[in-house]
Amino acid sequence: MTERNELVVRLGRAAALSLLAGTVGGAVVLAGQAIAARSREYAQPELGLALRATVGRADAPPLRLVLLGDSSALGVGVEHFEETIGGQLAQLLSEAPTGRRVHLSSVGVSGSRSTDLATQVARALLGERPDVAVILIGANDATGLARPADAAAYLGSAVRRLREAHVEVVVGTCPDLGAVRAVASPLRQVLGWAGRRVARAQTTAVLDAGGSVVDLGTETGPVFRADAGTLCHDGFHPSADGYRVWAHALLPAVEAAAAVAYRHHH
């Protein structure tokens, strides 16, 4: 099932949820919005984007960084490697005062939910072990109206497996889905509410499993709500500017994780 069709099914479920909330009129509006959202064209992964790259000075200390998660871990919505979240994070890490030579890879898969992370963790741990893993997940759990506790449990398990393999982990929690412009109100509010529930559950699970958390919804949501330019043409996935906002939000936690990994190896 494509990510777009998945979204349609989920939006239909969100409409059903509003019926439970007690307003038939509201559910009719939501159902109409779900149909409108379904007919939109959503950005697809750019298959030409390099998911492996090395960024930074040849003489800088190396950092193996792997991205796991959904379409955001791939950079769906932009056309160039430099615009993806991975490309921007690698650039920022290479330019930091503690400049690193970043060996970047991504095992993210568009449309992924937390249940898909087990496979991605196995792929991330093949070959040379990464120093730091960044996980971006939760939007598809929220739009699918998964039980937050279930989604968080799968995420916690993935973090625990990476930590047991001595990989430092930073999780960017579910972003602010109330900022999505592909969907009109009141469905947008329903998605925003679902996303916040997922993010809260994720935070607890990740900290319990020994990972670090960056609350993307709280830290970057206001920027996405204020500036339409943070989303790409589909009004759903981030643009280069949106990924830049996320990269800057993630950077302090990723730098701290990289410093810990460096100390452990030396």
Question: What's the rounded Cα separation, in Å, for the pair 130 and 28?
Answer: 48
Instruction: Calculate the alpha carbon distances from 212 to 8, 84, 139, 247, 256 in Å.
Output: 32, 21, 18, 15, 10
- Which residues, including other chains, have CB under 8 Å from residue 177's CB and lie 6 or more apart? 139, 142, 143, 188, 191, 192, 194, 195
- Is residue 30 a contact partner of residue 18, using CB atoms and an 8 Å limit? yes
H helix or E strand, kind and range, residue 184:
none
- Is residue 118 a contact partner of residue 105, using CB atoms and an 8 Å limit? no
| Residue tagged active-site, from 71, 105, 106, 212 | 71
| Residue tagged active-site, from 18, 116, 176, 237 | 237
H helix or E strand, kind and range, residue 121:
helix 117-124
Q: Are strands 168-172 and 132-136 parallel, antiparallel or unpaired?
A: parallel
Both tokens assigned to 64: 């193996």
Residue 234 bears catalytic tag: yes
Residue 237 bears catalytic tag: yes
Q: How many residues does this entry show for the chain? A: 266
Q: Give me the half-sphere count of Cα atoms (radius 13 Å) on the Cβ side of residue 15.
A: 22
What is the three-class DSSP state of 65?
A: strand
Q: Cα 88 vs. chain centroid, distance in angstroms?
A: 14
- Is residue 89 a contact partner of residue 66, using CB atoms and an 8 Å limit? no
CA nearest neighbour of 203 among 172, 247, 167, 169: 172
Hey, which residues are catalytic here? 71, 234, 237
